[in-house]
Structure formats: C-alpha cells, structure tokens
Amino acid sequence: MSILIDENTKVIVQGATGRDGSFHLRSMKADGTKIVAGVTPGKGGAVVDGIPVFNSVAEARNATGADAGVIFVPAKFASAAMKEASDAGVPLIICITEGVPVLDMVEIYHLVRSRGQVLIGPNCPGLISPGKCKIGIMPASIHKLGKVGVISRSGTLTYEVVHALTQAALGQSTCIGIGGDPIIGTGYLDLLERFEADKDTNAVVLIGEIGGDSEEQAAEFIKTSMHTPVVAFISGRSAPEGKRMGHAGAIISGGQGTAEAKVAAFEAVGVPVADTPSEIPAMVANRRA
C-alpha cells in the first residue's frame, strides 16, 4: 500500500502554464501520475501536454473529480492558491512554493485542519509512492517500490537517503518531504500515525534537522504509539547556536533545537540515529530483521 496517494489519485496542477508548473506537470505525467487538470486564472481553455487548463480550482475539480492538487505559483500568490484549493474542497494539497509568509501560514494551517484537509508544505519537494503516483519534484528514477516509509524536513537529504535505500534493494512505500519552514501543513506526528496504520510499511526513516522540537515530539509518539521500527538521521550537527542553516525553521535558539537534544530524544526511546546517510540502509535492514 501507500499513504495519502496511490495509482488512483487524480491531480490538479495550479500554475500549470508557468515555467515551473508546466515543466513538472510533464514530469509527473511521464512518471505515471494521473494529472487531470491544470489551473491558471485567465488561461482557461489552454492545453498543456494534453492536459486541459481551467480558470479556477473549483472549475477543474467539478470537471474532473480531482482529489489532490499541487501548487507551482510564485510566493506572492501561493497563500491565495492554497486557500483556493481549500475552498474548492481538495482533500490533499501540496505546496511546493517557498517564501510563503509565516503569518499567512498560521491562518492556512488552521483553515485546512478545520476542514479535515491535508496540506503538505510549503517549501517542500512533495511526495511519491514509487510506481503509483508522484506529486511534486522528487526524481522518480531513484525510487523503488517497497515497504520503507520516508519522512523528511530536507528535500536534498531525502534524495540521498532514498538513493541509498534503493541501492540496497530497500524499496519505499511512500516518501514525503514535509518542508523546512517554521509552520508547515503536516508534520511528523500525522505521518508517523499513517505509516503505523499502513500494513505494507514495515519500517520508517525519519530525516530531521536542527531547530524546533518536532523531532522530540516524534520520539515521544514513537515511544507511546508505534510498533513499526523507525530509524532516524539528524542534519546540522555542526551548526553553531543562533545560526540559521538553509531552512527558515532550522535555527537553534536559547539552547533549544540542537542536534544533540534530538539525537538523545530518539536514542532514549530506542530509535537508532545514523551518523551519515549511508548508514541508514543497514540500520533499516537490522530493524526489520
């Protein structure tokens, strides 16, 4: 199985006629995703790689019955695009765009949750269930269908870890990049719960980084609510206090959010933490054995 998406997921692309949106629409379609519509205000009636373009998400969803949407629009329009997708009742919304204002995300976070919708991102690479569906920008060629779930705050590290898993013949059920902003739509806890309930996921790799306490919360959830084995990796171990490292959420402040604290939290609940990404496949194999 997989979580959130599968071979039947029908996807709308917001920003389908733009440079990035049209490029990734074609890529997702070529990788087997059921792209059913594009959306660009004022471009209704256009066609991108055989996919019809509508003026609004509501029009696109009414015409196609889409159950997921992905956003490739400039940052100044991304908040409105997420709200539009939510207003149209799209159950799963993925926002790839980076640079969304934090205050906007406070409002959107509560909006989608109040409606029972799932938002992945913003500032994320999306998600993929290999051989079934890809929504976002992950390179499908490095993935392999299998039973290891992957959750990550870092897009680039996701690719590195997935490639290592695939090279070790450890395929993936679903890989999800949740984004590295201070406020994101869906975090570790929601996804760990979904992986725990997925009978075809038999191990999870959690890729964390400095900043915040989401990894510490994940460790507590694993202790109390998970039987599926988990392996972790924490990036940013050499980051000095007070220094932001790439992601807006990856900043150590007041002694909180350090790599050492996150590693200790996982090790305290029996989750092994890799020193390098290359160690992860062997750890996963040992945990599954």
Amino acid residing at 155: G
Q: Are 16 and 24 in contact (CB under 8 A)?
A: no
Q: How far apart are CA 59 and CA 44, in angstroms?
A: 10
- Which of 24, 143, 163, 247 is labelled catalytic? 247
Structure tokens at 113: 């949750």
Measured at the CA of 168, the angle between CA 166 and CA 170, to 5 degrees, comes to 60
Residue-wise burial string across 223-234, b where 16 or more C-beta atoms lie within 10 A, e elsewhere? eeebebbbbbbb
Collect all residues with Cβ–Cβ distance below 8 Å to 151 and sequence separation of at least 6: 176, 178, 188, 191, 192, 195, 204, 205, 206, 207
125 SS3 class? coil
Going by DSSP bridges, is the β-strand pair 230-235/203-209 parallel, antiparallel, or unpaired?
A: parallel
Q: How far apart are CA 117 and CA 218, in angstroms?
A: 21
Q: How far apart are CA 95 and CA 123, in angstroms?
A: 7
Please confirm, yes or no, whether 24 is among the known catalytic residues.
Answer: no
Catalytic center residues = 247
